[in-house]
Amino acid sequence: MPPKIKYTRDEIISAACELVRQGGIEKATARAVAKALDSSPKVIFGAFDGMDDLKDGVIAMAGELYGEYVRNEMATNRFPPYKSMGMAYIRFAAEEKELFKLLFMRDRMGDFAPKHEGELEPVIDVIMNATGLDEETARLFHLELWITVHGIASMVATGYMEFDWELISRVLTDSYQGALHCIKEKNNDSNKNL
């Protein structure tokens, strides 16, 4: 009997990730992952506590890939830092549709545990530095704009809208400028009542 081929957790996650890319998380079954590795499901259950554990690994790997998109977009200096984040998010949705859906179009209500606290701090700092807004207002500003960014990305990922770089760039700029104008007008109006 030939020796059993051993796979690392990362190799198994990579195989599962590739299946997700091809057809969504539903395609990353134990049998399908084992077949992709030319092995048996025992390999998976020897390395993971179950399919949820493997799914968590795929989500983490997809998150790392998304992080690369953000870093790469920011490194181009095509756009200001905050806009680069939005453009990277939408590009990820266009180029990695199924991984985008897995990361950002699933029920995530239970995901925001203490380990995610502070995740937005660098983003809020970018907004505060670029706009002069205070922290509370910067958080609201980000929420308003991220609704737009996520809406565009979702339409791109689901095939509702084609990825048109120039149009998307324009919409993000218009949304940013419009939201900033509205916030500053509200601040001016409230200062007049003092």
pLDDT band at 186 (very low <50, low <70, confident <90, very high): confident
Q: For domain 9-192, give its CATH number from 2.40.30.110, 1.10.10.920, 3.30.70.330, 1.10.357.10.
A: 1.10.357.10
Is the confidence at residue 115, as pLDDT, over 50?
no
- The reported pLDDT for the residue numbered 190 is 64
Domain extents in the chain: 9-192
Backbone angles phi, psi at 107, to 5 degrees: -65, 115
DSSP one-letter code for 133: -
Average pLDDT, rounded, for the chain: 90
pLDDT digits (tens, 9 = 90+) for 88-106: 999 999 999 999 999 999 8
Long-range contacts of 54-57 (CB under 8 A, 24+ apart): 54/12, 54/13, 54/16, 54/28, 55/16, 55/25, 55/28, 57/9, 57/12, 57/13, 57/16
